[in-house]
A = this chain, B = another copy of it.
Amino acid sequence: MSVITGEALIGGIAVRGNGSDFKAWNPSLNAHIEPSFHTVDDDQIDQACRLAGAAFDTFRATTDEQRAAFLETVAAQILAIGDALIERAMAETGLPRVRLEGERGRTVNQLKLFADLLREGSYRDVRIDSALPERAPPRPDLRYRLIGVGPVAVFAASNFPLAFSVAGGDTASAFAAGCPVVLKAHPAHPGTSELVARAVAKAVELSGLPAGVFALLTGVGNAFGQAVVAHPEIQAVGFTGSRGGGLALMGVAAARAQPIPVYAEMSSINPLFLLPGALQARGFDIAQQFAGSLTLGVGQFCTNPGLVLGIAGADFDAFAHAAAAALGGVAAGPMLSAGIAGAYQKGVAGLAGQPGVKTLALAAQEEGKGGAALFVTSADAFLADKALHGEVFGPASLLVACRDVEEMRHVTGHLEGQLTATLQLEESDHAAAETLLPALERKVGRILANGFPTGVEVSTAMVHGGPFPATSDGRSTSVGTGAILRFLRPVCYQNLPQPLLPDALRDGNPLGIWRRRDGVLGKE
């Protein structure tokens, strides 16, 4: 049974928010859909955060195996919702079935990946420095491990109703770290959120964990999310969304009596570098693939290629022509919400109106839809106009014609921080790539060769992050096992008697995990 009642979940109990009502929007039908949802009020936020704080010590005291099993139970409960989840998500987002089924698989696999990480055990970065009693002064026995930071506020994303939402990467990594989660649902897919939240709450119950480990808060407006971030029990924030939204939460977090870290994934235009050899050898093919990457999911990906740098000349012109032609064949698709579509159309009109910018392709824009748009400008014009550097969320991209590789490098140095950069290259381009790589490393979290940035693997080595404003904290990733590091902090135990030490730190390595003893990794 998968009933959607429009309620929030606090302390494992479905409660009706005391604030203003709202309904989900079906972008394919252009209509609101039932039932009504309700915005939680300050008391309800306070209750959810307090319960999370109270649950923290019990939750983090679970063994890695217990938390791994919990994550797997969450995954199983999500699958148990069945097709009702896919149907509701389709209705609330306009995304096609195949995409949402894939996203559900990704969500489930993500939970399992963190379960594997917990069982392997080395995420705690255990370090032991042996006592040296004969040294002057004597060295004490020192033991170091990472523990959870405390309750985490997670803000669900509009564009991934499953993989970056209620039980998405932020929640999975916070749970893995032993941190309770207070989840702020995205108002674009509240029913999907409720279904998944009920699955999570069921998993909490089946695992014998305190109900405060998870809460779902529903609502519209910015104020209630900011109240969650301001709550003293919250110790970190995970967010995927707009630059304005992320900046606002950073401001709230910094203004607290106790400032807390915010991991906001905000804004990226993901530059694509067309190196000359590649452009000559396979410019037409790259143009087709580029058009596919740009319009995938109506361009609503953080890693959408919104900027293309090439070297001015016949090959670049041919690429531009081919890309524009390919985009002309893509029908405008429904965007996730009327707000996103409106912002996209405004952004496209803004780009089209900038001096020095020429429109290569521009689909007719219908209400609620996003039609592909392609523009071209010169490096000089691009460098002179910061309005060309911002993200237009949707299937729009800007080509920048550079004089040579050196100018490409120069433009790179003036870009804002990015999630990704992609090099299209042949072996003849390696020398050019070598001059670009140091500049790219300073600007981005992930550097690709001969691919497209859309499609973010969930694995051990992924970085979905990057210098500001790609993320608020470029030392982090929100995808892959590295994401757990956002919600951990080190504690050192000096001369603590063995019975008082956590298992991970005890003599004899009872957990059999990798540990660093006197600087040397091993499993002693």
The answer to whether B254 and A495 have CB atoms under 8 Å apart is: no
The answer, among B144, B258, B462, for a CB contact under 8 Å with A463, is B144
Chain B residues positioned under 8 Å from A430 (CB to CB): 497, 499-500
Asked if A137 is an interface residue, CB under 8 A from chain B, the answer is yes
Task: Please report the C-alpha to C-alpha distance between residue A261 and residue B488 in the assembled complex, in whole angstroms.
Answer: 17
A contacts with B, residue count (CB < 8 A)? 80
Instruction: Determine which residue in A459, A465, A490 has the highest number of CB atoms from chain B within 10 A of its CB, and name it.
Output: A490
CB distance from A146 to the nearest CB of B (A): 9
Chain A at the B interface: mostly helix, strand, loop or mixed?
Answer: mixed
Task: Please report the C-alpha to C-alpha distance between residue A461 and residue B496 in the assembled complex, in whole angstroms.
Answer: 14
The answer to whether A500 and B120 have CB atoms under 8 Å apart is: no
Closest-by-CB residue of B relative to A519 is B460
The answer to whether B139 and A459 have CB atoms under 8 Å apart is: yes
Task: Please report the C-alpha to C-alpha distance between residue A492 and residue B140 in the assembled complex, in whole angstroms.
Answer: 38
Asked if A129 is an interface residue, CB under 8 A from chain B, the answer is yes
Per-residue B-contact encoding for A411-455, CB less than 8 Å = 1, 0 else: 000001100000001010010011001100110111111110001
The answer, among B259, B433, B482, B514, for a CB contact under 8 Å with A500, is B433
The answer, among B417, B474, B495, for a CB contact under 8 Å with A451, is B495
Task: Please report the C-alpha to C-alpha distance between residue A516 and residue B474 in the assembled complex, in whole angstroms.
Answer: 22
- Copies of this protein in the assembly total 2
The answer to whether A259 and B472 have CB atoms under 8 Å apart is: yes
A460-B127, A460-B129, A462-B144 given; A445·B492 CB < 8 A: yes
The answer to whether A477 and B490 have CB atoms under 8 Å apart is: yes
Task: Please report the C-alpha to C-alpha distance between residue A444 and residue B491 in the assembled complex, in whole angstroms.
Answer: 7
Instruction: Determine which residue in A117, A143, A144, A473 has the highest number of CB atoms from chain B within 10 A of its CB, and name it.
Output: A144
Asked if A116 is an interface residue, CB under 8 A from chain B, the answer is yes
Instruction: Determine which residue in A433, A461, A473 has the highest number of CB atoms from chain B within 10 A of its CB, and name it.
Output: A461
Residues 497-524 of A contacting B (Cβ, < 8 Å): 497, 499-500, 514, 516, 518-519, 521
Asked if A128 is an interface residue, CB under 8 A from chain B, the answer is yes
Asked if A149 is an interface residue, CB under 8 A from chain B, the answer is yes
Chain B residues positioned under 8 Å from A116 (CB to CB): 519
Q: Which residues of A approach B to under 8 Å, CB–CB?
A: 56-57, 61, 116-117, 120, 122, 127-129, 137, 139-140, 142-144, 147, 149-150, 250-251, 254, 258-259, 261, 416-417, 425, 427, 430, 433-434, 437-438, 441-442, 444-451, 455, 457, 459-463, 465, 467-469, 472-477, 481-482, 488-497, 499-500, 514, 516, 518-519, 521
Q: List 16 A-B contacts (CB under 8 A).
A: A57-B442, A137-B455, A142-B457, A142-B461, A144-B460, A149-B474, A254-B254, A427-B497, A430-B497, A430-B499, A446-B492, A449-B497, A451-B495, A465-B489, A474-B489, A476-B490
The 5 closest A-B pairs by CB, nearest first: A463-B492, A144-B461, A142-B461, A127-B461, A448-B494
